[in-house]
Structure 1
Amino acid sequence: MTFASSHRSVLQALLAGTALLFTSSALAQETPPESAPAAGTPPPAVEAPPAAEPPAPVPPAAVPPPAEEKKKDKPWYENIRLRGYTQVRYNRLPSFRVNDSLINDQGDRFLGKDNGFGIRRARLVIFGDVHPHVSIYLQPDFASVIGDQYNVAIMRDWYADIFLDTKKEFRFRVGQSKVPFGFENLQSSQNRLALDRNDAINSALKDERDLGVFFYWAPSHIRDRFKFLVDSGLKGSGDYGVVGLGVYNGQTANRAERNNSPHGVARISYPFLFGSQYVEVGAGAYYGRFNLSAAPRDDAAYALARGPNLVDARAIVSLTVYPQPLGFQAEYNVGRGPSQGTGDEDLLIDSRNLQGGYAQLMYKLDGVVGVSLIPYVRGTLYKGGKKFETNAPRYDVRELELGAEWQIWKALELTAAYVIADRTSSRYPYEQEQGHVTRVQLQFNY
């Protein structure tokens, strides 16, 4: 054997021994302590490494507390909403026949000489459900007139509707609100075409309102119909029930009762489809005794024929054909009410006959310019007293109004009207005045 081959044999033996040593050591570390020892001399005991501590338990994700049961009733103030409108007028545009003595204190205080721009109405309505069975409606007007003071805040509506059933078909209205008499009296000035209410029906109730309790009933689908006739721009009167009954003071809005004789009122009104057009028919009446104010004149004293508490009673019929696109609206009432006499009895105030009404023709053009354009013409006739004016002067009114309402956007409307009038003056000596008036009104809704 050569030296080289001998040297190679020794080197191979050393490498094999080294590999065996490493293999044995590795096996000793991998073999668990419970394993049986290998045959032969046991290797030195190797202390097993301490078992690894289990990881600290991770706390479970915080479980949210059980959701509180949803409250059925929100706090009342979360259900309150606001809306309103403002009307700004100018009545001094050129007319064919101007008469500065032609005035209408019940309608528009900006008629007559030395007048310019005026705020006819400035309303803010606060309303909402404060309970599943109770809703409120509060409406002040910030453009009222008291004496020679303009833009005075005064209460118009302040009432609650108390619903007797979950469908809200039966309800009592308690507080100061509109008295359910007629159609145009109940129609909001925000929706009405003509700039002022007609004398024939509005002479029944100054400001259309009084303090009392009223009961209304309407099926839920008819209540939806009343709402649609307003929201759609068809000039509805609002929801005053198919049947309305009530008792109220009778001295008109914001005036205290002056006798122990409340007024009673009843009304029925029903809207229905006639072909493809909505039609509404109605009728109503009221009765009571009105305590009027009488004051001596410079040259004479007024006499009350039967004391201050005079019979005040009327009956009315109403017809509305909603403009789709052609529409028609008419009302007529008859009755008895406090009034001065005529001729030899002009200084004697008594309960006397009255009658009058109006008719209106209108045509609704949708989407032509802006939201809608509605031209209209209305004629009014009335002969009777104005019970809420001192000495209850007797009126003779014949009036024709031609105009158009242009709803530019939902928030903005412009109305122009030309009035030809022959009417009794609101101021002593109550002369008959004739004249023409051109007026324009800008209304913004919010």
Structure 2
Amino acid sequence: MRIKFAGIIVMTTMIFMDVFARDVQEDTLTTTEVAQVVKKPWYETIQLRGYAQLRYNGLFETNPDLQCSQCDRSWGGDGGGFFFRRIRMIFFGQIHERIYMYIQPDFASGGNNFAQIRDAYFDLGLDEKQEFRLRIGQSKVPFGFENLQSSQNRIPLDRNDGLNSAVVNERDIGVFMYYAPSEIRKRFSYLVSSGLKGSGDYGVVGLGVYNGQTANLAERNKNLHVVGRMTYPWELPSGQFIEASIQGYTGKFVINRNPLTDFDQTEFSEFRYGPSIIIYPQPFGIQAEFNWGRGPEYDPVTNDVKDAPIEGGYVLATYMLKTSKDIFIPFTRYHYYKGGKKFELDATRHRVKEFEIGVEWQLNKSFELVGMYTISDRTFENSLNPDNRQKGRLLRLQAQVNF
């Protein structure tokens, strides 16, 4: 199944690249800019940027047992209070005409304010225009638009469960090949720098192999995951941007189980696939993604982990209102997920239905506020808590500083 799936990805990719080769990164450099950069010593080409997010989730909370540890560890429970969700410092630069460096630590990992590497990779340009690149190291796995979109740019406070459950923290160590014509690389860059909430430059075509056990965790088997993604951002005569994507991956994953249980199996085959469609907010915007697949999931009836179907996704509607000084982006999102979360204990069984409504207020490029009211119905069950469905509502606030 996995070999057949990988073959389909490769064949489709060859067709896709042939079509778009005839058509005319967040930190993408032109050929001229690269030539200017390489005249400097490598240490003079490295730049620094970053952002920090401070949250408070305790307003109008109706159920403290309603939680989402993958989303935000300060949500629910006995804790609460102010919480640093992210403190990111990004070191990047074109250190050679064919080599681009990107290292991003987070100083608020897990809510305990300890440092952890998020990204650490090098892009190796395979041609003069760097339309073909190899990305080597720990980076985002090219699966899903919202997963690839930086949390600095994303409007809702957390990623949707449906696709974000594919790869915890969205990252892993591996080797990825990206292809995009120079003109389209510039378009990817513009969709971020213009404030339109793009995902960054992950190529028109992306193919890769990676460990599969997810970022900052040791690999637990000798099986590599395979991933493929194709996307294209069209610009209509009106200036409206529309992007469509298709992606999928497959591999084997070793679950974390309760040592007091007697499960027969800890390694499971998994696969996912699904489409994305993004109509950028000019001023109305629609963003929708869905995925299907199979993977491990806890079964409370048998107190065992079994292979089970997966499905989930979301629809996000936005409107970008620009005044002479500020930008307001009211939004609403509904997301749904039915499946296990492989990286949680016993591949915890999840059933998620969640509706959010909020607004992002950009006072300037360096500071923004988000208020989001969440209405949630979540089931999350494993061997420690085999009967656990929680419903509730709460108001969530976030202040973000960009530099």
State whether structure 2 residue 332 is matched by structure 1 residue 332: no
Distance 2:269 2:225 in 1: 10
SS of the residue corresponding to residue 226 of structure 1 reads helix
TM-score after normalising by structure 2: 0.88
Work out which of the residue numbers 57, 62, 73 in structure 1 matches 2:39: 73
What is the aligned counterpart of 1:285 among 215, 229, 248?
248
Q: CA deviation at 1:425?
A: 3.9
Displacement, 1:371?
Answer: 3.3
Query: Could you say which residue in structure 2 is the equivalent of 1:163?
Result: 125
Q: 1:290 to 1:398 in 2, by over 3 A?
A: same
**Superimposed CA distance per residue, residues 270-304 of structure 1 (whole angstroms, 9 cap, x where no aligned partner):** 0002342100000010000001121145xxx2423
5+ residue gaps, structure 2, are 1-35
Task: Spell out the pairing of 1:110-189 with structure 2 (5 A cutoff).
Answer: 110-112=74-76, 113-145=78-110, 150-189=112-151
What pairs with 1:30-45 in structure 2 (closer than 5 Å)? none
Residue ranges of structure 1 left out of the alignment (5+ in a row): 1-69
Q: Specify which structure has the higher proportion of strand.
A: 2
Displacement of 1:168 after TM fit? 1.2
Identity, % of aligned positions: 50
Compared with structure 1, are the counterparts of its residues 71 and 206 closer, same or farther at alpha carbon in structure 2 (3 Å cutoff)?
closer
The answer to whether the 8 Å contact 2:300/2:381 transfers is no
Q: How does 1:370-385 map to 2 (within 5 A)?
A: 370-385=325-340
8 Å Cα contact 1:339-1:386 kept in structure 2: yes
Q: Which residue of 2 aligns with 1:26?
A: none
Q: Which amino acid aligns with 2:296?
A: P
Q: CA deviation at 1:348?
A: 1.8
Aligned to 1:200: 162
CA distance in 1, matches of 2:326, 2:183: 27
Structure with more relative contact order (C-alpha pairs < 8 Å, separation 6 or more): 2
What is the one-letter code of the residue matched to 1:333? N
Helix, strand or coil at the partner of 2:190: helix
Deviation, structure 1 residue 135: 0.8
Which residue in the other structure is 2:28 paired with? none
Cα-to-partner distance string for 1:178-213 (whole Å, 9 max, x where unaligned): 000010000000000000001110000000000000
**2:225 aligned with 1:263:** yes
Secondary structure of 1:391 counterpart: helix
Single out whichever of 70-79 and 269-278 deviates more from structure 2: 70-79
Matching residue within 63, 72, 75 for 1:108: 72
How many angstroms apart in 2 are the aligned matches of 1:254 and 1:287? 20
Are positions 1:303 and 2:257 aligned together? no
Q: Which residue of 1 aligns with 2:18?
A: none
- Of the three residues 436, 441, 444, the one matched with 2:393 is 436
- Provide the TM-score with structure 1 as the length reference: 0.79
CA contact 1:330–1:360 (8 Å) conserved in 2: yes
2:350 to 388, 391, 395: 395
Alignment of 1:192-271 (within 5 A): 192-271=154-233
Report the alpha carbon displacement of residue 423 of structure 1 after superposing the two structures with TM: 0.5
**Residues 338-390 of structure 1: CA deviation (Å, up to 9, x unaligned):** 111253x3x1212211101000000001125x331100000011000010011
> In the TM superposition, what whole-angstrom CA distance separates every residue of 1:72-128 from its partner, at most 9, and x where no partner exists?
531101000000000001111225xx1000111101011113310010000000000
Q: Which has the larger radius of gyration?
A: 1
Q: 1:358 aligns with which of 299, 308, 314?
A: 314
Q: Helix, strand or coil for the counterpart of 1:184?
A: helix
The amino acid of 2:292's aligned partner reads: V
* In structure 2, C-alpha distance between the alignment counterparts of 1:269 and 1:79, rounded to whole Å: 30
**Cα pair 2:60 2:393 within 8 Å, conserved:** no
